[in-house]
Amino acid sequence: MARTPLLMGNWKMYKTVAEARSFAESLGQHSAKLADGIEYAICAPYTALHVLRVMLPNVSIGAQNVYPEKEGAYTGEIAPGMLAEFGTRYVLAGHSERRMLFNESDQMVNHKVRAIVEAGMVPVLCVGENSSQKQDGITKEVVTGQVQKGLDGLSADQVVGAVIAYEPVWAIGSGKTATPEDAQYVASEIRALVADLFGEDAAASVRILYGGSVKPDNVASFVREADIDGALVGGASLDPTSFIEMAQALKEVV
C-alpha cells in the first residue's frame, strides 16, 4: 500500500506572527518547487496558525500541543475542538520536550492522542529513547512501549490515519543523527508492533516519520528506507529556503 510522504516542520517556540508571514510569503513565491506526491505541514505556535492557513493553502497546519478536555476551567490551555474548528489537521502528542520539560506521562499522551482523534484531527505520536536508554541497549523496548501506550484505546480504523514520529531524544537539536539503517530498524519494529496490535492494514497505512537533526543534505537518506515515510523537522524547517531544499531532496525519492 502506497503511503504519501510527509514533510512536517516543527517550529517549537519560534516565530512571531510577522515572522510567520514573512516565511509564508517566501515559501509561497517558490511553491512550484514543492514537489508533487509529497504532503507538507508545519506545526507552528498557535498565534501563527491563522497566517499559515490563509497564506499557504497547499501546506497543512499543525498544532504542537493540545489539552485533552473539550472545555473547562483550564486556564491557558487549548481544547481539541478549538483547533479542529480552526482548520488544524495535525497535532503533536508526546514530543520529548513535553515529556521532559512538562512531565507528561504516557497516560497523558494517550489522553491527548484519543482526544485529537475524537476531534477529527490527525495525531502525530512522538516517541524516542534518550542517550542512557540507547547506551543500555533498550531502544526497542522504550520506543515500542511508548507506541503501545500512546495508541491504547484506538481502533484499527483510527490508527490507519495516524502518524508516528520516531525522534531519538539524543539527536534532537544536537547535530547528531541516527543512521538511516538504525532509524529503519526502529521504524520496522514500530510497524511490526502496529501489525500485532491493530492488524496488517493499519500497519501498512500508518505513516512513520524520522526526526532528529534532519537537514536538506540527509532527509532523503532516511525517507529512502522502506518503513520511513517522511520527516519531522525542527530547526531546518524555520528557513523557507531550507524547507524548499528538503522538498527538492525528497523529489528524488518519491
Say if strands 230-233 and 163-166 run parallel, antiparallel, or are unpaired: unpaired
Exactly one of 97, 104, 167, 189 is catalytic; which is it? Answer: 167
Strands 39-43 and 6-10: parallel
Alpha-carbon span 209 to 230, nearest angstrom = 5
Catalytic residue among 39, 95, 97, 225: 95
Residue 227 per-residue DSSP state: T
Q: Which grid coordinates belong to 115?
A: 482526544
Residue 39 annotated to the active site? no
User: Are 15 and 243 spatial neighbours (Cβ–Cβ below 8 Å)?
Assistant: no
Specify whether 167 is catalytic. yes
Grouping H, G, I as helix, E, B as strand and the rest as coil, residue 185 is helix
CA separation for the pair 212, 10 (Å, rounded): 11
Q: Which residues are catalytic?
A: 95, 167
